[in-house]
Amino acid sequence: MVAVAAPEKVLVTGANGYLAAWVVKKYLEAGYAVRGTVRSVAKSAFLKDIFAEYGDRFELVVVEDITKEDAFEEAVKGVSAIAHTASPFHYNVTEPEELIVPAVKGTTSILDSALKHGSAVKRVIITSSNDPAIEEVRVKGKGAGPPVFYLASKTLAERAAWDFVSTHQSEISWDLCVINPAWIFGPSLGPAPNVDDINASQRQVYDTLFGAKTGPQLVEHGSWVGVADCAEAHVRATYTPAAGGERIITRKGSFYFQDILDAAAELGITDVSRGEPGCQNDVPLGFVLDTTKAERLLGMTQMATLKDIVTASVKDFRARGYPGLTA
């Protein structure tokens, strides 16, 4: 097992993404140099602006199509670690394969490039999922919907990664660590001028606050983690030797969507929905994700609370001028 310490260089794929931009930020704050991949310079200009203080410790390279063979051939050269967060997600799909195929191909593409051209690579960190969506896609097919397609794509891409490592164990010079986050909530670092531009998971917070979720939707539940804490887990997985070969669940706690509104009320935020206080009291949470590895291996014990997330999210929504908020 190895560790990659600052100031070594890390490759972050899809660097302009919701989570990935935070991963870049956390790496830079920890003293690493970062090379980020983006599909186009135009859509990632904000990264150069927000990370300008780090000078030449931060660079961007364009990888237009992550599914192509040797797409990352040049990008992996000279980096000591890779954080692969890039995975396509959008709602303009009707078939699960439209998200699953590029997610799997993108993952195997970067691992193949690391094998062939990443002579300095010592650790690869992949962002996966915790949701058992594959079975839902199998049963419902395209009726499962794009968010479920996406979760399934992340899980299948992770499986492909472990298969790749198993197949090429005698050839690779690096080990693999997978971060398995719960729902990721918290402000975006990137531009989102309109509500429809909000990242899909953070959009759940906005919709809850402003009444788009009602009735049974308020007692829907799951596990969550703050976006900054999830990004921090990627950094710690890079410099922690024992993280190699592990799947690490990253979660702060369990929640009902009504809990978001209850937190807002306790914080004195008045210009949001109140929902139906108490509606979750008799609804069991179901299974709870085991965060032992994150705590024991990465020391992830002090994380943002739901109140912290609601406070930061409302502040961010107000700063962006979204409808439904007063200063």
pLDDT of residue 43: 81
Q: Could you report the per-residue pLDDT of 114-140, keeping only the tens digit for each?
A: 999 999 999 999 999 877 788 888 888
Q: What type of residue sits at position 20?
A: A
Instruction: Tell me the per-residue pLDDT of 285-310, one tens digit each, with 9 for 90 and over.
Output: 876 788 999 999 999 999 999 999 99
Q: How many CB atoms lie within 10 A of CB 301?
A: 9
Mean pLDDT to the nearest integer, 156-181: 96
DSSP-derived secondary structure letter, 254: E
pLDDT confidence of residue 326 = 57
Question: Which residue is listed with tokens 């999922």?
Answer: 129
Judge contact between 201 and 259, C-beta under 8 A.
no
Residues 252-284 have pLDDT tens digits of 999 999 999 999 999 999 989 999 999 999 898
pLDDT in tens, 135-155: 888 888 888 888 788 888 989
Tell me the residue type at 131.
Answer: D
More confident call, 180 vs 98: 180
Region 59-63: what's the mean pLDDT? Answer: 96
Across the beta sheet with 175-181, the strand order is 58-62, 33-38, 9-13, 81-84, 123-127, 175-181, 247-250
| pLDDT value, residue 251 | 94
Give the separation between CA 218 and CA 113, rounded to whole angstroms.
Answer: 44
Decide if 306 contacts 261 (C-beta within 8 A).
no
Mean pLDDT, all residues of the chain = 92
Euclidean distance between CA atoms 40 and 48, whole angstroms: 13
- Residue count (the chain): 327
For the record, the structure tokens of 157 come out as 């891409």
DSSP state, residue 291: -
Residue 2: C-alpha distances to residues 40, 80, 81, 137, 148 (Å): 33, 11, 10, 37, 34
